[in-house]
């Protein structure tokens, strides 16, 4: 059986009573009886890996946070529910169906790392999920589950970067979603300004906490985990690591909640065992491609390049997708058939990433925007050979000195088009292929009646993150850089 139900039940759980009747709450019960370190050891034994995209081992992350606890201030647990990856709708589906397991997982995490508060970071636009979560928190608090932990729901902006962990911490701390230079682990939410004369501490640029790492700071670490990661925790603690490992692979134990959209008969979200072949996932969730067409390629979100049809038997696991030079990411698979124009798809990804880049790193924004412009020209069949040369050059420079992974994503997707589908690009250059508009690649707003609804408004979003008629020419880091307290980003 391909579809399984560990973190995603077939129907929505109505209230805490139903959650308890289905066996919920047992993980927290166990967690309260054992030493916090025993929880971390169980998670390490389970092999659970972060479901936010990078697949980092969760137990290792928790242990690092504990080992770097601040003697002065308590640790905060942050639940990353920003879900902005194009083609992904799994965290919102989990929150709609069962927010209780996410709250329980976060409370177990707080117990393991001695966290005094949990912040559930969602988006203002996720009205349904915010309401479900708030109801669950109210019930859980009333039931006495959170006596020594403060629970808060934070409603953040729509920007893609808000989901990037360090940018999310920036936003929680009252600044704009601009990523920090990645330290070995995270500090904040509470910024500790060590040098009051530092001009940047009063600016809207990323906080001066980049060097957080081994020793030397009073700032407490923050444990940030994805919604689906935490949804797995209660059962691992209640039933044990061996139970968790009864499905999945050695390196990717457990299940994964996948989103399938694009040219398939249906769009949807479902949970499968890690290691299930991608073709089977697409078939089971999407019902195969529509209209008797054949799959040509699959885009696993905007972080990695196209997966060609001949590699569709690859197991859906961290190691399986890495072995073909791709990645599992947040398991959102956008399917393209033999009538789809992959140049237009790549042009859409290029535009999305160039617009969403914050501009703290010049190549990411400037080369990114040039790439988006040239890719648009290519898919309209207006480009010449020299434009292709410039595209190749910019693909090789766009990620230079990048603070976060977004710039590498831009590189990955365009490099994959140029390497694997060069004939498609050539067809546009020679004029054999008709000019087309770039595909809309943006965040998903909903999946309704088996159809994905993409954020159409992204077509109007400017590279300065405004929705003005004209682009101001400023990058977001410049436009918002002087402001410490953000005015609301436009929705
Ligand atoms: C551009 C960008 C956007 C991201 N967006 C999200 C997101 O919306 N949700 C999420 O959980 N992780 C997102 N991530 C990954 C997070 O930075 C981080 O790896 C994750 O929250 C860690 O949680 P985990 O260990 O439980 O996976 C994003 C990363 C990048 C580079
Ligand atoms: S790589 Fe791009 S998105 Fe990331 S911090 Fe730099 S400019 Fe911003």
Segments of the chain assigned to CATH 3.10.20.600: 255-337
- Is the separation of the CB atoms in 225 and 80 below 8 Å? yes
Q: Quick one: pLDDT band at residue 190, thresholds 50, 70, 90?
A: very low
Condensed to tens digits (0 to 9), the pLDDT of residues 137-181 reads 999 999 999 989 999 999 999 999 999 999 999 999 999 999 987
Question: In this predicted structure, what is the pLDDT of residue 480?
Answer: 87
Q: Residue 201: pLDDT above 50?
A: no
> Which atom of ligand 2 lies at the shortest distance from residue 364's CA?
2
Q: What is the mean pLDDT of residues 255-277?
A: 98
Q: Residue 388: pLDDT above 50?
A: yes
Condensed to tens digits (0 to 9), the pLDDT of residues 207-236 reads 434 333 444 456 789 999 999 999 999 999
Q: Whose CA is nearest to atom 2 of ligand 1?
A: 164
Ligand 2 midpoint to CA 161 (Å): 9
Mean pLDDT score across all residues of the chain: 92
Segments of the chain assigned to CATH 3.40.50.11540: 3-244
Which residue(s) pair with 155 in the sheet? 122
Question: In this predicted structure, what is the pLDDT of residue 488?
Answer: 56
Dist CA 202 CA 196 (whole Å): 9
Q: Are strands 255-262 and 332-337 parallel, antiparallel or unpaired?
A: parallel
365 pocket-lining for ligand 2 (C-beta < 6 Å): yes
Task: Indicate the class that CATH gives domain 3-244.
Answer: alpha beta
Q: Quick one: pLDDT band at residue 182, thresholds 50, 70, 90?
A: low
Ligand nearest to the CA of 55: 1
48 pocket-lining for ligand 2 (C-beta < 6 Å): no
Question: In this predicted structure, what is the pLDDT of residue 49?
Answer: 98
Which residue(s) pair with 453 in the sheet? 446
Q: Quick one: pLDDT band at residue 290, thresholds 50, 70, 90?
A: confident
Question: In this predicted structure, what is the pLDDT of residue 202?
Answer: 38
Sequence-separated (6 or more) residues with CB below 8 Å from residue 38: none
Segments of the chain assigned to CATH 1.20.1440.230: 342-438
Enter the tokens of residue 117. Answer: 């508060």
Provide DSSP, 238-287.
HH-HHHHTTSB-SSSBSEEEEEEEESBSS-EEEEEETT-BHHHHHHHHH-
Q: What is the mean pLDDT of residues 383-392?
A: 97
Of 76, 55, 15, 113, the residue nearest 322 (C-alpha): 55
- Is the separation of the CB atoms in 283 and 323 below 8 Å? no
> Which atom of ligand 1 lies at the shortest distance from residue 160's CA?
3
Task: Indicate the class that CATH gives domain 255-337.
Answer: alpha beta
Q: Whose CA is nearest to atom 4 of ligand 2?
A: 404
Which residues are near ligand 1 (CB < 6 Å)? 50-54, 56, 61, 80, 82-85, 160-161, 163-165, 224-226, 229, 404-406
Q: What is the mean pLDDT of residues 248-256?
A: 98
Ligand nearest to the CA of 178: 2
Mutate to test the pocket of ligand 2, among 178, 364, 463 (most ligand atoms within 8 A of CB): 364
Reduced DSSP (H G I as helix, E B as strand, rest coil) percent helix, strand, coil of the chain, to 5: 40, 15, 45
Question: In this predicted structure, what is the pLDDT of residue 209?
Answer: 42
Question: In this predicted structure, what is the pLDDT of residue 93?
Answer: 98
Ligand 2 midpoint to CA 28 (Å): 38
Q: Count each helix (H run) and each strand (E run) in the chain, helices first.
A: 19, 12
What is the DSSP-derived secondary structure letter of residue 380? T
Ligand nearest to the CA of 176: 2
Q: Residue 71: pLDDT above 80?
A: yes
What is the DSSP-derived secondary structure letter of residue 440? P
Condensed to tens digits (0 to 9), the pLDDT of residues 450-461 reads 999 999 999 999
Residue 36 vs residues 113, 114, 118, 451: alpha-carbon distances, Å: 7, 8, 17, 43
> Which atom of ligand 2 lies at the shortest distance from residue 356's CA?
3
Question: In this predicted structure, what is the pLDDT of residue 161?
Answer: 98
Condensed to tens digits (0 to 9), the pLDDT of residues 317-365 reads 999 999 999 999 999 999 999 999 999 999 999 999 999 999 999 999 9
Dist CA 427 CA 318 (whole Å): 34
Dist CA 181 CA 166 (whole Å): 8
Dist CA 263 CA 287 (whole Å): 10
> Which atom of ligand 1 lies at the shortest distance from residue 80's CA?
11
> Which atom of ligand 2 lies at the shortest distance from residue 360's CA?
7
220 pocket-lining for ligand 2 (C-beta < 6 Å): no
Question: In this predicted structure, what is the pLDDT of residue 1?
Answer: 66
Q: What is the CATH number of domain 342-438?
A: 1.20.1440.230
């Amino acid at each position: 059986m391909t579809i399984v139900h560990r973190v995603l039940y077939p129907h929505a759980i109505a209230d805490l009573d139903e959650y308890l009747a289905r066996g919920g709450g047992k993980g927290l019960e166990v967690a309260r009886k054992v030493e916090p370190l025993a929880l971390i050891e169980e998670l390490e034994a389970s092999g659970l890996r972060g479901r936010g995209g990078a697949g980092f081992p969760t137990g290792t992350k928790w242990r690092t946070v504990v080992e770097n606890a601040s003697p002065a201030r308590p640790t905060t647990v942050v639940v990353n529910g920003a879900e902005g990856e194009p083609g992904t709708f799994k965290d919102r589906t989990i929150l709609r169906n069962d927010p209780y397991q996410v709250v329980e997982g976060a409370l177990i995490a707080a117990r393991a790392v001695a966290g005094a508060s949990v912040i559930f970071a969602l988006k203002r636009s996720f009205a349904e999920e915010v309401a479900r979560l708030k109801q669950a928190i109210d019930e859980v608090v009333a039931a006495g589950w959170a006596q020594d932990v403060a629970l808060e729901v934070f409603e953040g902006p729509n920007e893609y970067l808000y989901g990037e962990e360090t940018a999310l911490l920036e936003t929680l701390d009252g600044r704009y979603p601009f990523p920090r230079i990645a330290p070995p682990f995270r500090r904040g939410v509470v910024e500790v300004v060590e040098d009051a004369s530092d001009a940047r501490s009063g600016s809207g640029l990323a906080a001066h906490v980049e060097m957080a790492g081994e020793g030397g700071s009073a700032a407490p670490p923050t444990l940030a985990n994805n919604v689906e990661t935490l949804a797995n925790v209660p059962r691992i603690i209640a039933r044990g690591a061996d139970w968790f490992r009864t499905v999945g692979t050695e390196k990717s134990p457990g299940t994964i909640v996948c989103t399938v959209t694009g040219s398939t008969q249906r769009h949807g979200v479902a949970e499968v065992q890690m290691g299930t072949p991608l073709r089977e996932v697409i078939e089971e969730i999407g019902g195969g491609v529509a209209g008797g067409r054949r799959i040509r390629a699959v885009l696993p979100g905007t972080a990695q390049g196209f997966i060609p049809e001949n590699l569709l038997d690859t197991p859906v696991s961290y190691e399986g997708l890495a072995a073909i030079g791709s990645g599992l990411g947040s398991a959102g698979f956008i399917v393209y058939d033999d009538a789809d124009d992959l140049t237009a798809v790549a042009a859409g990804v290029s535009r999305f990433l160039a617009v969403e880049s914050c501009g703290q790193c010049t190549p990411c924004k400037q080369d990114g925007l040039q790439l988006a412009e040239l890719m648009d020209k290519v898919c309209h069949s207006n480009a010449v050979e020299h434009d292709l040369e410039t595209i190749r050059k910019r693909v090789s420079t766009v990620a230079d000195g990048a603070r976060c992974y977004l710039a590498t994503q831009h590189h990955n997707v365009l490099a994959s088009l140029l390497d694997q589908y060069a004939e498609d690009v050539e067809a546009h250059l020679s004029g054999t292929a008709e000019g087309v508009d770039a595909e809309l690649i943006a965040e998903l707003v909903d999946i309704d009646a088996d159809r994905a609804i993409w954020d159409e408004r992204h077509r109007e979003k400017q590279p300065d993150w405004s929705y003005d008629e004209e682009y101001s020419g400023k990058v977001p880091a410049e436009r918002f850089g002087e402001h410490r307290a953000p005015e609301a980003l436009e929705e």
